[in-house]
Amino acid sequence: MTDPSDAPVLVFGPYNADGLAELKARFAHVHHLSEKNLSLLPAGERETIRAVAVAGTFENTDMADLPALEIVGHFGVGYDGIDAAHAATLGVAVTNTPDVLTDEVADTAVALTLMTVRELHHAEAHARSGDWETKGPYPLTRFSMRRKSVGIMGLGRIGLAIAHRLESFGVTIHYHNRSKRSDVAYPYHATLADLAEAVDILLIAAPGGASTDRAVDATVLQRLGPDGILVNIGRGSTVDEAALIEALQSGGIAAAGLDVFADEPRIPAELRALRNTVLLPHVASASRDTRIAMGDLVADNLSRWFAGEDLATPVPESAEAGLVRRAKG
């Protein structure tokens, strides 16, 4: 019987150092390309690769250039950069890393909301610069969390963890999903625009992909209104950035707290220039503890696959295709 640790693994592109070390500890043949460029891997080696570990995008063309590929382990919960349905037609399983980053992202979402509502980033700068001593106290903030309502777009694992945390602030939670959940009592809104109109703070925790592309558009922002606040820890592609910039500049909405952007790491200069924004460099899950857990889960899935065991976290497209365990032989 072939030793599962002998399966050649390609780490494709920039990858967490602890995660890479874990893969090297489990597999004897780990190839790391720091750039997502398969031409850097000799053709003879490309033909042997049976697993890929990747963060972010993995194109169908690259998938096609790895004829022995069996499984893709995605480092991250959102896998919209991988065509998992296409992979399934090729018999290639795809896994992701849910749950292990849920708490970290939810914590960051709450922190980002508080920063945006209470202008804590500006208050910190006021203290650090010496302005408190020379110019007096920081001005009273326009908003607080008191008597606020928060609408969550995407009440999945992360969205629900955010909702549970926000409940402790005494806010009212509303949500919008593709379908209504039967296990929560929060008010449900069938459209995103209706959700935006009903709440003070619109918080985006939805995955990316075609179904959510620019879903937060000018109409949604208009419904959120001049006292409304947008917070996004989901995907930058979910927000129409041009419409958001216009709304922030004109007073169409009050403020925005953003951890994600449409063209990362590039952030539009117009957003960076605005005082009524809090901008974070996609750090929602960026603690070493959480990234270690994510890397371990990628490695666990690859190890399980080659040992003939059930995958820990196959994505739905793989599960629906029956790609949850490697076939014998």
- Cα–Cα dist 103/101, whole Å: 6
Catalytic residue among 32, 121, 126, 282: 282
Give residue for tokens 């930058």. Answer: 236
Per DSSP, the three-state class of 242 is: helix
Q: How far apart are CA 199 and CA 85, in angstroms?
A: 35
**Which residue among 235, 291, 304, 326 is the active-site one?**
235
Q: Give the Cα separation of 51 and 29 in Å (integer).
A: 11
Confirm if 108 and 130 have CB atoms less than 8 A apart.
no
For residues 186 and 169, give the distance between their C-alpha atoms in angstroms, rounded to a whole number.
Answer: 15
Whether the CB-CB separation of 70 and 326 falls below 8 Å is answered with: yes
Cα(130)–Cα(35) distance, rounded to whole angstroms? 44
Token pair listed for 151: 């609408």
- Whole-angstrom Cα distance, residue 17 to residue 291? 9
Q: At what angle do helices 17-26 and 288-306 cross, to 10 degrees?
A: 30
The span from the CA of 146 to the CA of 132, in Å, is 26
Q: Name the token pair of 82.
A: 């991988």
Q: Which two tokens stand for residue 254?
A: 């009050």
To 5 degrees, how large is the angle CA 125–CA 230–CA 101?
85
Closest CA to 186 of 215, 221, 225, 159: 159
Between CA 116 and CA 123, with CA 122 as vertex, the angle to 5 degrees is: 105
Amino acid at 188: Y
Mind giving me the DSSP string for 265-325?
Answer: TB--HHHHH-TTEEE--S-TT-SHHHHHHHHHHHHHHHHHHHTT---SSB-HHHHHTTTTS
264 noted as active-site residue: yes
Is 282 considered catalytic here?
yes
Which of the residues are catalytic? 235, 264, 282
